[in-house]
Amino acid sequence: GAGVSQTPSNKVTEKGKYVELRCDPISGHTALYWYRQSLGQGPEFLIYFQGTGAADDSGLPNDRFFAVRPEGSVSTLKIQRTERGDSAVYLCASSLKALAGTNEQFFGPGTRLTVL
């Protein structure tokens, strides 16, 4: 079946601009995560959705970052007034509402964001 998809695959923008990154999770997965990965680092947690609600947004670095998942499926990560330090690969993952100990997350291919 189809995996997690993310669009666009690459995004180049200028400092100060607004960007939206989209994630389409695996059908039926109620949990959705956004991560940010910089070169040489592991994925850094940003936000987690269970259904439509953000269960934990403690990883969002500041109020320029916002994410929504209005119908409990597709999610959009929104970044306002982009800065050069926002350049990274943004990864989305989804998982079933897992039984204990079976929290496998399935990742999308990521969106590579470059802020000039």
Task: Name the site residues for other proteins (rule: CB under 8 A).
Answer: 31, 33, 35, 40-45, 48, 50, 55-56, 91, 95, 98, 100-105, 107-110
Q: Count of CB atoms within 10 A of residue 90's CB? A: 23
Least CB distance to other proteins at residue 16 (A): 28
Nearer to other proteins, 31 or 88 (CB): 31
Q: Which is nearer to other proteins, 12 or 81 (CB)?
A: 12
Q: Half-sphere exposure of residue 3, counting CA atoms within 13 Å on the CB side? A: 9
Whether the CB-CB separation of 107 and 4 falls below 8 Å is answered with: yes
Task: Please work out, in degrees rounded to the nearest 5, the angle formed at the alpha carbon of residue 47 by the alpha carbons of 29 and 42.
Answer: 95
Q: By C-beta, is 58 or 62 nearer to other proteins?
A: 58
